[in-house]
Amino acid sequence: MKFDVALGTSVVLMAFDGERLVALIGEKSQEPYKGAPMLPSNWVSAGESVEEVAKRMMNRILGVEKIYLEQLNAFAKVYRNPMGRVVNIAYFALLNWDLVKEVKTPGYKWVALADRPEMIFDHNEILEMAYERLKRRVKHRPIGFVMLPKQFTFNMIHSLYEQCLGKDLDKRNFRKKFMRSELLIDTEETIFEAPGNKKPSRLYEFNQQKYDKLTLKGYDFKF
């Protein structure tokens, strides 16, 4: 029996740059659609692991070796690619901005999720599915531990959750709920978040032990 189906992989990478949720977008390097926006993608050859191909691609683009990739879905519509039948195994990862903000390979850039372009094939559908998964996960998993720097202000984590959920959150109620989770450790250090600020902001760290427990157990943040 002869098979006429190609296998590929795409990866949705998201990070928080301190103000916005951003995704990594590339440009197609060959025809058809040369120069068109697309997710980082690669063909998978016979005998290759799809996940290893995805990880190797991320290392080449971002210079980061240890990326935890979560399989998102398989996209296999018959006419999703004009070059022929392609089954795309998509992955999803949340990253720390400080580790990935410098892109190593030309043709890729970080784009605010709110400003995401129209991409080729079904890549907008893939990105949208990843964002919907993030919105569900942020209510049940302490994802900020991955996406924030080691030390951060409460304004930063509040902004991150607003970006992830796509809506405004009452700061007072948010603070109460988050403090009840016992996830945060007050470092007793402060910074001025912006020039001209008269009052410094406290710096926090995540409680690793509590984070590990909640990651396994989960919790329900009803914002």
b/e string for 29-50 if b means 16 or more Cβ within 10 A? Answer: eeeeeeeebbbbbbebeeeeeb
For residue 35 the two structure tokens come to 């120069």
CATH of the domain at 95: 3.90.79.10
CA 88 – CA 121 distance, rounded (Å): 11
Q: Which amino acid makes up residue 195?
A: P
CA 80 – CA 143 distance, rounded (Å): 32
Q: Is residue 154 part of a domain?
A: yes
pLDDT at 153: 94
For residue 13 the two structure tokens come to 């990478």
Q: How many domains does the chain have?
A: 2
- Non-local (6+) Cβ contacts of 90 within 8 A are 9, 10, 11, 12, 39, 71, 72, 73, 74, 75, 126, 129, 130
- Non-local (6+) Cβ contacts of 182 within 8 A are 207, 210
pLDDT at 11: 97
CA 1 – CA 66 distance, rounded (Å): 39
Place of tokens 């392609």: 86
pLDDT at 156: 93
pLDDT at 2: 55
pLDDT at 223: 62
User: Can you give the pLDDT of all 223 residues of the chain as single tens digits?
Assistant: 455 788 999 999 999 999 999 999 999 988 888 999 999 999 999 899 999 999 999 999 999 887 889 999 999 887 777 777 889 999 999 999 999 999 999 999 999 999 999 999 999 999 999 999 999 888 888 777 789 999 999 999 999 999 999 999 999 999 998 888 888 999 999 998 877 778 899 999 999 888 888 777 776 776 6
pLDDT at 111: 98
For residue 112 the two structure tokens come to 């605010």
**Whether 93 and 170 share a structural domain:** no
**Whether 61 and 97 share a structural domain:** yes
Q: Is residue 133 part of a domain?
A: no
**Whether 22 and 107 share a structural domain:** yes
pLDDT at 38: 97
**Whether 18 and 118 share a structural domain:** yes
**Whether 30 and 117 share a structural domain:** yes
Domain that holds residue 28: 6-122
For residue 96 the two structure tokens come to 């720390």
pLDDT at 193: 84
Dump strand ranges (E) for the chain: 6-16, 21-27, 37-38, 41-43, 70-75, 86-95, 108-112, 184-191, 201-206
CA 214 – CA 115 distance, rounded (Å): 33
Backbone φ and ψ for 156, nearest 5 degrees, come out as: -65, -45
pLDDT at 76: 84
**Whether 99 and 44 share a structural domain:** yes
- Using CA atoms, how far residue 58 sits from 11, 17, 39, 95, 154, in Å, is 8, 18, 12, 11, 30
